[in-house]
């Protein structure tokens, strides 16, 4: 096992989707040249607008898609290569996923015990009473009770279903959880419950979480470091506070300027910044790449932009 401080390393990951053939062939670069690393027991947030590739990134890491190119290593082991029995086993026992839609992601014909315990069964646990014991333990952990085990998903509210989804993800004791918009389908008053629960589990189990969401306030609150994505590119990676206090990439600035804050005073004086890639960048002469501008703060920029950003940082 590697003793690197990074548990997950993603290098130049590309995920293209194609449709049609011949002249009609269309390639969508959903994830294009994305590089980032996640530390052990860290929460790494991925934000961006719909279609920016944040969900695809998560799904490619857990191999719901086969990556077009690039390297992904988890605990030092390559997980982007050819899918073998061993790799599948390695992946499923180390990385789990929590989905956005708590209704669609639970099989309506299975009881909660079957849903949550399925992971154990797949791993060869045949003792039903042992499965039962662990399921109940897990349900208690996420704030549900033993009686819930024999019920079906439709009997639960959205927040409870999301708790079931979380219980299913963590019962196999994974090292990392990919949470794809875990709260955005929930009511405001219930979102906070689920965020608190995830926070507790993270502390208790030392989980590493890849948190994918579009709500920047939630991502900021929940994550140690944040990556901002735009049209398949990761444009900026930084610690939460750095990102919000000194956003460098014009898209990050535009995104931050667009979040409405629950504060009438700031809202009335809000100045929104537009991001127009053709206007804001001149990449005709120089190619952009991911550069570390200050410690822990990466921006996707060209050499001349880099100088500008360095100045901004120094004056900050």
Partner 1 sequence: MAETMKSEMMNAEAAGAAAPEKDVILSVRDLRISFRAYGGLVQAVRGVSFDLYRGETLAIVGESGSGKSVSIKAIMGILANNAIIESGEILYDGKDLTKVKEDDFHEIRGHRIGLIFQDPLSALNPIMKIGKQITEVLRLKKGVSKAEAKEKALELMRVVGIPDVEQRFDQYPFQFSGGMRQRIVIAIALAGDPEILICDEPTTALDVTVQAKILEQINQIKKDRNLSVIFITHDLGVVANMADRVNVMYAGKIVETGTSEEIFFEPAHPYTWALLSSMPDLQTKDRLNAIPGTPPNMIFPPKGDAFAPRNAYALKIDHEKEPPMFKITETHAAATWLLHPQAANSRVEMPASLKARIERMKRSGGFNG
Q: How far is the CB of 53 from partner 1 (least distance, A)?
A: 14
Nearer to partner 1, 80 or 218 (CB): 218
Q: How far is the CB of 267 from partner 1 (least distance, A)?
A: 4
Q: How far is the CB of 159 from partner 1 (least distance, A)?
A: 6
Nearer to partner 1, 127 or 203 (CB): 203
Nearer to partner 1, 77 or 257 (CB): 257
Q: How far is the CB of 1 from partner 1 (least distance, A)?
A: 33
Tell me the three state secondary structure of residue 249.
coil
Nearer to partner 1, 1 or 145 (CB): 145
Nearer to partner 1, 17 or 221 (CB): 221
The DSSP 8-state label assigned to residue 88 in this structure reads H
| Angle between helical axes of 158-170 and 128-141 (0-180°, round to 10) | 130
Report the chain's terminal Cα–Cα distance, integer Å: 41
112-118 long-range Cβ contacts below 8 angstroms, 24+ apart: 112/139, 112/144, 112/148, 112/149, 112/150, 112/151, 112/152, 112/153, 112/156, 112/164, 113/149, 113/150, 115/153, 115/164, 115/168, 116/149, 116/164, 116/167, 116/168, 116/171, 117/171, 118/168
Q: How far is the CB of 238 from partner 1 (least distance, A)?
A: 14
Would you tell me which residues interact with partner 1 (CB under 8 A)?
49-50, 157, 159-160, 187-193, 195-196, 199, 214, 216-218, 220-222, 244, 253-267, 269-273, 275
Q: Which two tokens stand for residue 119?
A: 């992971």
């Amino acid at each position: 096992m590697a003793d690197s401080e990074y548990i997950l390393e993603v290098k130049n990951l590309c995920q293209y989707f194609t449709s049609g053939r011949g002249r009609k062939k269309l390639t969508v670069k959903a994830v294009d040249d994305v590089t980032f690393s996640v530390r052990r027991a860290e929460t790494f947030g991925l934000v961006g607008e719909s279609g920016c590739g944040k969900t695809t990134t998560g799904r490619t890491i857990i191999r719901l898609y086969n990556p077009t190119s690039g390297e992904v290593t988890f605990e030092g082991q390559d997980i982007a290569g050819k899918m073998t029995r061993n790799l599948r086993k390695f992946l499923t026992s180390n990385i789990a996923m929590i989905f956005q839609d708590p209704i669609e992601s639970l099989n309506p014909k299975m009881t909660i015990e079957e849903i949550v315990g399925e992971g154990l069964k797949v791993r060869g646990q045949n003792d039903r009473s042992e499965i039962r014991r662990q399921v109940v333990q897990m349900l208690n952990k996420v704030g549900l009770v033993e009686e819930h085990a024999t019920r079906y998903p439709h009997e639960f509210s959205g927040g409870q279903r999301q708790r079931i989804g979380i219980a299913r993800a963590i019962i196999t004791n994974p090292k990392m959880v990919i949470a794809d918009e875990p709260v955005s389908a929930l009511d405001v008053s219930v979102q906070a419950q689920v965020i608190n629960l995830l926070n507790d589990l993270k502390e208790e189990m030392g989980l590493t979480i890849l948190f994918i969401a579009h709500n920047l306030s939630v991502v900021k609150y929940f994550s140690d470091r944040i990556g901002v994505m735009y049209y398949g590119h990761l444009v900026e990676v930084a610690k939460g506070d750095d990102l919000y206090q000194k956003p460098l990439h014009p898209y990050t600035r535009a995104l931050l300027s667009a979040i409405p804050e629950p504060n009438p005073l700031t809202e009335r004086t809000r100045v929104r910044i537009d991001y127009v890639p053709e206007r804001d960048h001149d990449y005709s002469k120089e190619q952009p790449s991911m550069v570390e501008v200050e410690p822990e703060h990466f921006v996707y920029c060209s050499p001349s932009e880099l100088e500008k950003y360095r100045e901004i940082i120094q004056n900050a």
